[in-house]
């Protein structure tokens, strides 16, 4: 009887924890740390950047990803508008990554996904999973990339040059370095082209900055979208553990 009561109590505690986790996931998609910045309450510099983002991004990510429910900008773009003199340069870099990159979209999107996984950046994965799929990345690769699978598991799933990009990106994100063999193999897979290697590095640097913005400002997804990563924020986890401990003692 004591054991049965303990099992029922444990089951109740676990159920409560699941409810809390789901509530936090829903809350994270419904609030943001920066207020939505939108016309007519913008400075001249903010309005100029806002208009530029709308004109260049709507056709790439779609209006649902670009605008929030209040008509403000979603993703990293609201933060860019908050600081337009810096934000315009990050936006120009991100635009150059897309339009002036020597790498094909299928290659730079693999690198961007690896960066998003490393940062556990919810909006990054949400936006770029669909862009990578559109670029031709094999469907079977997405769950492996999302799980941070070892590079050897992506061979035969990704094309050889895509797998080489994945291997280098994963190594750089995890170790903060790239070994000589990995560098040489990736460069060979990219045709021995130094510009392509430089573009790969700058692509990852750009989207590391974007991911930092997304995470620092806790940028929400469109309403109803499931979170790609279910990790708890550290402060929320600490509060939940404290509350759970208070109930159980």
Q: What is the pLDDT of residues 162-178, one digit of tens each?
A: 999 999 999 999 999 99
Could you write out the three-class secondary structure of the chain? Answer: CHHHHHHHHHHHHHHHHHHHHHHHHHHHCCCCCCCCCCCCCCCHHHHHHHHHHHHHHHHHHCHHHHECCCCCECCCHHHHHHCHHHHHHHHHHHHHHHHCCCCCHHHHHHHHHHHHHHHCCHHHHHHHHHHHHHHCCCCCHHHHHHCCCCHHHHECCECHHHHHHHHHHHHHHHHCCCCHHHHHHHHHHCCCCHHHHHHHHHHHHHHHHHHHHHHHCCCCCCCCCCCCCCCCCHHHHHHHHHHHHHHHC
> pLDDT tens across 212-237, in order?
999 999 999 999 999 999 875 555 44
| pTM of the predicted model as reported, rounded to 2 decimal places | 0.80
9: pLDDT confidence band, cut at 50, 70 and 90?
low
């Amino acid at each position: 009887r004591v054991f049965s009561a303990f099992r029922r109590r444990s089951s109740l505690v676990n159920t409560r924890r699941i409810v809390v986790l789901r509530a936090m996931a829903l809350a994270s998609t419904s609030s943001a740390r920066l207020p939505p910045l939108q016309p007519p309450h913008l400075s001249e510099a903010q309005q100029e950047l806002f208009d530029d983002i709308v004109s260049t991004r709507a056709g790439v990510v779609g209006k649902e990803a670009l605008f929030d429910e209040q008509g403000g900008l979603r993703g990293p773009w609201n933060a860019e508008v908050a600081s337009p003199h810096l934000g315009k340069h990050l936006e120009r870099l991100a635009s150059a990554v897309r339009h002036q990159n020597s790498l094909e979209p299928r290659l730079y999107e693999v690198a961007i996904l690896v960066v998003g996984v490393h940062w556990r950046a919810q909006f990054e994965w949400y936006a770029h999973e669909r862009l990578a799929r559109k670029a031709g990345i094999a469907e079977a690769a997405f769950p492996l990339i999302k799980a941070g699978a070892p590079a050897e598991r992506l061979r035969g799933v990704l094309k050889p040059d895509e797998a080489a990009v994945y291997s280098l990106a994963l190594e750089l994100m995890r170790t903060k370095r790239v070994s000589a063999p990995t560098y040489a193999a990736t460069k060979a897979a990219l045709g021995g082209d130094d510009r392509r290697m430089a573009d790969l590095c700058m692509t990852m640097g750009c989207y590391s900055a974007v991911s930092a913005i997304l995470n620092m400002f806790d940028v929400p997804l469109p309403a109803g979208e499931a979170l790609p990563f279910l990790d708890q924020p550290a402060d929320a986890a600490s509060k939940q553990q404290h509350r759970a401990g208070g109930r159980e003692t």
